[in-house]
A and B are shown apart, each in its own frame.
Chain A
Amino acid sequence: MTARVGVITFPGTLDDRDTQRAVRVAGLEPVPLWHRDKDLKQVDAVVLPGGFSYGDYLRAGAISRFSPVMETVIEQAKGGMPVLGICNGFQVLTESHLLPGAMLRNNHLHFICREQKLRVENAGTAWTSDYEAGQEISIPLKNIDGRYVADERTLDELEAEGRVAFRYLDGNPNGSLRDIAGITNAAGNVVGLMPHPEHAVEPLVGTGRTDGLGFFTSLLKKLVNA
């Protein structure tokens, strides 16, 4: 039996079908999860995809964080289940306090969609083990609330503990502090980032690169070896 990866749909989620495809391309089985349902259907890992859940009204991720499905996700994440939050999903993870910090509006105040170069700083997480530390990858970035912020002490802690998972290269696209594009929790099972690995898994579409596939193959290896 192959590993099962839950993909949550909140009202206003946009990248759920794309994420299911990426999971499938990597050789895993996608399982759609619905925001109102606490049952995670015995999945082995969960992805919170991008979008504008609840229209990003109030604050990005602020309402989704209280949805029934998140109660179980928070509980199981604390128990070690791999969880990946992409873009809006990252915002939900910070609102849920599974990851520290918050996202503010981009410093230039515009939505930005472009191919973005990143450096994988931590290749020891559940979602990055197929990369090498220091490896440079290029995947799409698309958001308006993408500026990562946290207080200085938190940032210092993240740096000291190696929890900055990805950093922007060749130009910080939104004013994120210390060029942070994504972070991990201390255990390495919960990872969040603003750019979109699920949009870089096939050479035919998007930017034509497959640099994002490693997120899902990392997970596959972890789950199969476990």
Chain B
Amino acid sequence: MTLDSVKHAAETPDTGQPWAELGLKPDEYARIREILGRRPTGAELAMYSVMWSEHCSYKSSKVHLRQFGEKAPENDALLVGIGENAGVVDVGQGYAVTFKVESHNHPSYIEPYQGAATGVGGIVRDILAMGARPVAVMDPLRFGAADHPDTKRVLPGVVAGIGGYGNCLGLPNIGGEVVFDACYQGNPLVNALCVGVMKHEDIHLAKASGAGNKVILYGARTGGDGIGGVSVLASETFDDSKPTKRPAVQVGDPFQEKLLIECTLEIFREDLVDGIQDLGGAGLSCATSELASAGSGGMRVELDTVPLRDSSLSPEEILMSESQERMCAVVEPGKVDRFMEICEKWDVIATVIGEVTDGERLEIFWHGEQIVDVPPRTVAHEGPVYERPYARPDWQDALQADDAGKLARPETAEELRAQVLKVISSPNQASKSWITDQYDRFVQGNTVLAQPEDSGMVRIDEDTDLGVAVATDGNGRYAKLDPYAGAQLALAESYRNVAASGARPLAISNCLNFGSPEDPAVMWQFAEATRGLADGCLELGTPVTGGNVSLYNQTGETAIHPTPVVAVLGVIDDVNRRTPIAFSDEGHLLYLLGDTKEELGGSAWSQVVHDHLGGLPPAVDLGREKLLAEILISASRDGMVDAAHDLSDGGLIQALAESCLRGGKGARIVVPDAIDPFVFLFSESAGRAVVAVPRSEELRFTDMCGARGLPATRVGVVDGEEIDVQGQFSIPLAELREAHEATIPALLA
């Protein structure tokens, strides 16, 4: 077969090309021809097809994502913003923290173990590429109905993959979520977050500058796995009529990644790289074009020097392969020898594959013949942008009119008790320790808080006890009822979780999981959610540092609930001051902070007891969220509270049950006069938390709440071996524990 060189392409303008099979649209192919002034070579077509995929180019979401920059709050802490591998935040004492959440949804449905494992691997390399040592991971997960047979295929594989990869890297898994809903049956969501720490001066960026500098590919050899992962897999809707896409799923080797981490950190310590980029989605196509595009010159690559696992791979396949555990660095000639020595020390293969040129083109050669000659920006940064049509779906009004307030409520105390147990033992509200116990949360020896705490917290300086906290949240049910409010509620909950642990929220990352952008109803959900999130971040003063959009999450015509997952990062000056959720000391007083209104739309109660989704989600008041956070942070810093737990799905009773079980202590609860006990226990009004206050601190604490105008209602005391809601019912802790902890093992073990 003739090599499709640049020269050959120019001579054969009419040769048919498989652009449609590679996921390109007719006008996109026409535009590539226009940019190049000829037909693309096979290799160029491969590069454009993966880089212009929805997953890499954000072509449908870009016009909406711009708001995150346009509405960004003034924030001195932001050191690196959107656009790099991950954003970087100043946390003080010379430290910078980078964090990001990404999706690996479609691969994890097709091949749960490898899909989830390589999701962890990819986000860890993103963090590493910024110059940081990865210090923690967490995984927000969504699966189909807990009792569906396919959930039993997907979930254990995903959990084992996350554990198998993350545990082997030595990264503590400190949080995340597991949510079940039938809407995710054919399209689970596997999001992965990583946090990394570095000193300010260690920040590295993905750019290639300095003519003559060498381009070094290091890490695993390139194989045939993951070809077209971002285009044919991540950017299309699943359809049973097409052949299996399993070959488009990458295969991970965590041992190789661990070596790559240690090797790269040693390379950073000796200041040996000018620019660096990990190889993830779109592989070498992405790394070379992004490095060249962000730098000052061009780049020349000898593709036949790339070490291969399979010598029969074509140049197109090498450019598209998403083989894992690879990095690409730009290194000054004088530093190449030392770079190679460090790679040799860690048994990591490293190869000079090209160099930075003083031109403006990305040029790739195959055994001396040129197969790529493109302006790199047109591949990496100037892909197509779509203003997709969007429209509020016609069913939205009916959905919102179907008020959860009309649902039948418990009529007796016994019925209320039974419903409490039913909610607490339901798969979404039950303990997830069967899952999280498969992840190592202790490794690195810096874990201060981990699941089931409100946020995961790690110490980042052993001398000063400076630490960071991260929480992720997202409620697809709320977002379905109102995507604007739903996105803000996800932000508010994550923000509240970080503050409840005693940390000050600084910045956010997000993973926006939605259905097909070609559906105007889905696009409306996306537009509303991004607008809500951008407005919310502006009001809370927490900028978006980066994140990921995952579209085409649907099966046939049915989209998932819109699921914006929000990760909030906070800082705490002294982790000794953290606030756990556990009620550990009898006699401590329980205060409910915030206002409880009758808000049951999208609630756990409406789902578990009535299988209902309708009405409006809880009202959002971000001013109140800020006030609540300030109170929680002050209370932590000044030692006024012994425990704090945010209130979210499941309401007050859920939080009480978790805090009691965590501390092994009961609680006596008094329902305030003005409120219905059922609403008191199950309402999901936002902007609330429950705190345990030592008697000696009660006056100081209530004075502070009073002075700042935060409603604080005394609702009980930590006491005994049961949760006793006076005048209503009591549940012994042993019975509560059985209800809360037996569900998930019974379904999945």
Q: Is B730 part of the contact surface with A, judged by Cβ < 8 Å?
A: no
The smallest C-beta distance from A108 to any residue of chain B, in angstroms, reads 8
Q: Please indicate the chain B residues that have their CB under 8 angstroms from the CB of A108 in the complex.
A: 749
Q: Is A196 part of the contact surface with B, judged by Cβ < 8 Å?
A: yes
Q: Is B254 part of the contact surface with A, judged by Cβ < 8 Å?
A: yes
Please give me the residue from chain B that is nearest to A203 by CB atom.
Answer: B576
Q: Is A110 part of the contact surface with B, judged by Cβ < 8 Å?
A: yes
Q: Please indicate the chain B residues that have their CB under 8 angstroms from the CB of A198 in the complex.
A: 445
The smallest C-beta distance from A4 to any residue of chain B, in angstroms, reads 21
Please give me the residue from chain A that is nearest to B259 by CB atom.
Answer: A11
The smallest C-beta distance from B323 to any residue of chain A, in angstroms, reads 17
| A113 close to B448 (CB less than 8 A) | no
If A11-B347, A52-B168, A55-B168 touch, whether A204 touches B465 (CB-CB below 8 Å) is: yes
| A14 close to B170 (CB less than 8 A) | yes
B239-261 vs A: 1/0 string, CB under 8 Å?
00000000000000111101100
**Max chain B C-beta neighbours (<10 A), residue from A11, A111, A198:** A111
| A205 close to B255 (CB less than 8 A) | no
Question: How far apart are the CA atoms of A83 and B436 in the complex, in Å?
Answer: 32
Q: Please indicate the chain B residues that have their CB under 8 angstroms from the CB of A56 in the complex.
A: 168, 255
Q: Is A44 part of the contact surface with B, judged by Cβ < 8 Å?
A: no
Q: Is A112 part of the contact surface with B, judged by Cβ < 8 Å?
A: yes
Q: Is B446 part of the contact surface with A, judged by Cβ < 8 Å?
A: yes
Stretch of A15-23, A128-136, A186-194 at the chain-chain interface: A15-23
Question: How far apart are the CA atoms of A11 and B348 in the complex, in Å?
Answer: 11
The smallest C-beta distance from B447 to any residue of chain A, in angstroms, reads 6
**Max chain B C-beta neighbours (<10 A), residue from A17, A198, A205, A207:** A205
| A204 close to B255 (CB less than 8 A) | no
Q: Is A167 part of the contact surface with B, judged by Cβ < 8 Å?
A: no
| B576 close to A111 (CB less than 8 A) | no
Q: Please indicate the chain B residues that have their CB under 8 angstroms from the CB of A15 in the complex.
A: 170, 443, 445
| A110 close to B438 (CB less than 8 A) | yes
| A17 close to B164 (CB less than 8 A) | no
Please give me the residue from chain A that is nearest to B171 by CB atom.
Answer: A14
Question: How far apart are the CA atoms of A202 and B462 in the complex, in Å?
Answer: 11
| B442 close to A52 (CB less than 8 A) | no
| B442 close to A206 (CB less than 8 A) | yes
Interface of chain A residues 188 through 226 with chain B (CB within 8 A): 196, 198-199, 202, 204-207
| B170 close to A11 (CB less than 8 A) | no
Question: How far apart are the CA atoms of A57 and B254 in the complex, in Å?
Answer: 11
Q: Out of A14, A110, A202, which one reaches B160, CB within 8 Å?
A: A110
**Max chain A C-beta neighbours (<10 A), residue from B170, B346, B439, B442:** B442
If A14-B170, A204-B465 touch, whether A113 touches B440 (CB-CB below 8 Å) is: yes
| A204 close to B448 (CB less than 8 A) | yes
Q: Out of B169, B256, B258, B437, which one reaches A113, CB within 8 Å?
A: B437
Question: How far apart are the CA atoms of A56 and B168 in the complex, in Å?
Answer: 9
Question: How far apart are the CA atoms of A17 and B440 in the complex, in Å?
Answer: 16
| B444 close to A17 (CB less than 8 A) | yes
Question: How far apart are the CA atoms of A188 and B313 in the complex, in Å?
Answer: 56
Q: Is B459 part of the contact surface with A, judged by Cβ < 8 Å?
A: yes
Q: Is B441 part of the contact surface with A, judged by Cβ < 8 Å?
A: yes
Q: Please indicate the chain A residues that have their CB under 8 angstroms from the CB of B532 in the complex.
A: none
| A14 close to B443 (CB less than 8 A) | yes
Q: Is B575 part of the contact surface with A, judged by Cβ < 8 Å?
A: yes
A109-146 vs B: 1/0 string, CB under 8 Å?
01111100000000000000000000000001010100
Q: Is A85 part of the contact surface with B, judged by Cβ < 8 Å?
A: no
B647-682 vs A: 1/0 string, CB under 8 Å?
000000000000000000000000000000000000
Q: Please indicate the chain A residues that have their CB under 8 angstroms from the CB of B170 in the complex.
A: 14-15, 51
Q: Is A80 part of the contact surface with B, judged by Cβ < 8 Å?
A: no
B442-468 vs A: 1/0 string, CB under 8 Å?
111111100000000001001001000
| B437 close to A114 (CB less than 8 A) | yes
Q: Please indicate the chain A residues that have their CB under 8 angstroms from the CB of B576 in the complex.
A: 204
Please give me the residue from chain A that is nearest to B348 by CB atom.
Answer: A11
Question: How far apart are the CA atoms of A111 and B117 in the complex, in Å?
Answer: 14
| B442 close to A113 (CB less than 8 A) | yes
Question: How far apart are the CA atoms of A21 and B462 in the complex, in Å?
Answer: 10
B490-516 vs A: 1/0 string, CB under 8 Å?
000000000000000000000000000
Q: Is A12 part of the contact surface with B, judged by Cβ < 8 Å?
A: yes
Please give me the residue from chain B that is nearest to A50 by CB atom.
Answer: B443
Q: Please indicate the chain A residues that have their CB under 8 angstroms from the CB of B441 in the complex.
A: 113
Q: Is B634 part of the contact surface with A, judged by Cβ < 8 Å?
A: no
Q: Please indicate the chain A residues that have their CB under 8 angstroms from the CB of B438 in the complex.
A: 110-113
Which bracket fits the contact residues of A? 20 to 34
If A55-B255, A113-B437 touch, whether A206 touches B447 (CB-CB below 8 Å) is: yes
Q: Is B167 part of the contact surface with A, judged by Cβ < 8 Å?
A: yes
Q: Out of A57, A114, A142, A206, which one reaches B445, CB within 8 Å?
A: A206
| B446 close to A113 (CB less than 8 A) | no
Question: How far apart are the CA atoms of A206 and B441 in the complex, in Å?
Answer: 8
If A142-B167, A204-B575, A205-B447 touch, whether A12 touches B440 (CB-CB below 8 Å) is: no
Q: Please indicate the chain A residues that have their CB under 8 angstroms from the CB of B256 in the complex.
A: 55
Question: How far apart are the CA atoms of A52 and B462 in the complex, in Å?
Answer: 25
Interface of chain B residues 254 through 306 with chain A (CB within 8 A): 254-256, 258-259
Q: Is B483 part of the contact surface with A, judged by Cβ < 8 Å?
A: no
| B575 close to A196 (CB less than 8 A) | no
Q: Please indicate the chain B residues that have their CB under 8 angstroms from the CB of A52 in the complex.
A: 167-168, 254-255, 258
If A18-B445, A142-B442, A204-B576 touch, whether A12 touches B259 (CB-CB below 8 Å) is: yes
Q: Please indicate the chain A residues that have their CB under 8 angstroms from the CB of B436 in the complex.
A: 113
Q: Please indicate the chain B residues that have their CB under 8 angstroms from the CB of A112 in the complex.
A: 437-438
Question: How far apart are the CA atoms of A57 and B168 in the complex, in Å?
Answer: 12
Interface of chain A residues 45 through 100 with chain B (CB within 8 A): 51-52, 54-57
| B254 close to A205 (CB less than 8 A) | no
Please give me the residue from chain A that is nearest to B457 by CB atom.
Answer: A205
Please give me the residue from chain B that is nearest to A108 by CB atom.
Answer: B749
| B440 close to A111 (CB less than 8 A) | yes
Question: How far apart are the CA atoms of A55 and B440 in the complex, in Å?
Answer: 16
Please give me the residue from chain B that is nearest to A55 by CB atom.
Answer: B255
Question: How far apart are the CA atoms of A207 and B442 in the complex, in Å?
Answer: 8
Question: How far apart are the CA atoms of A63 and B445 in the complex, in Å?
Answer: 26
| B437 close to A205 (CB less than 8 A) | no
The smallest C-beta distance from A123 to any residue of chain B, in angstroms, reads 25
If A52-B254, A55-B168, A55-B255 touch, whether A111 touches B163 (CB-CB below 8 Å) is: yes
Question: How far apart are the CA atoms of A192 and B218 in the complex, in Å?
Answer: 36
Question: How far apart are the CA atoms of A144 and B437 in the complex, in Å?
Answer: 11
Question: How far apart are the CA atoms of A18 and B437 in the complex, in Å?
Answer: 20
| A140 close to B254 (CB less than 8 A) | no
B163-200 vs A: 1/0 string, CB under 8 Å?
11001111000000000000000000000000000000
| A142 close to B440 (CB less than 8 A) | yes
| B445 close to A21 (CB less than 8 A) | yes
Question: How far apart are the CA atoms of A207 and B253 in the complex, in Å?
Answer: 30
Interface of chain B residues 407 through 448 with chain A (CB within 8 A): 436-448
Question: How far apart are the CA atoms of A122 and B136 in the complex, in Å?
Answer: 36
Question: How far apart are the CA atoms of A53 and B258 in the complex, in Å?
Answer: 10
Question: How far apart are the CA atoms of A54 and B168 in the complex, in Å?
Answer: 10
Q: Out of A12, A21, A202, A207, which one reaches B168, CB within 8 Å?
A: A12
| B439 close to A111 (CB less than 8 A) | yes
The smallest C-beta distance from B148 to any residue of chain A, in angstroms, reads 21
Interface of chain A residues 1 through 28 with chain B (CB within 8 A): 11-12, 14-15, 17-18, 21-22
**Max chain A C-beta neighbours (<10 A), residue from B436, B445, B446:** B445
| A204 close to B443 (CB less than 8 A) | no
Question: How far apart are the CA atoms of A140 and B444 in the complex, in Å?
Answer: 13
Q: Out of B167, B255, B346, B443, which one reaches A57, CB within 8 Å?
A: B255
Rank and list the top 6 A-B pairs by shortest CB-CB distance, nearest first: A55-B255, A14-B170, A18-B445, A140-B442, A52-B168, A199-B442
- Residue contacts A-B, CB under 8 angstroms, 26 given: A11-B255, A12-B168, A12-B259, A17-B445, A18-B445, A21-B462, A51-B170, A52-B254, A52-B255, A55-B168, A55-B253, A56-B255, A108-B749, A111-B163, A111-B164, A112-B437, A113-B440, A113-B441, A114-B437, A140-B442, A199-B445, A202-B445, A204-B448, A204-B465, A205-B448, A206-B442
Please give 5 more A-B residue pairs, beta carbons under 8 A apart, in addition to A11-B259, A55-B253, A111-B164: A12-B259, A14-B443, A114-B437, A142-B442, A144-B167
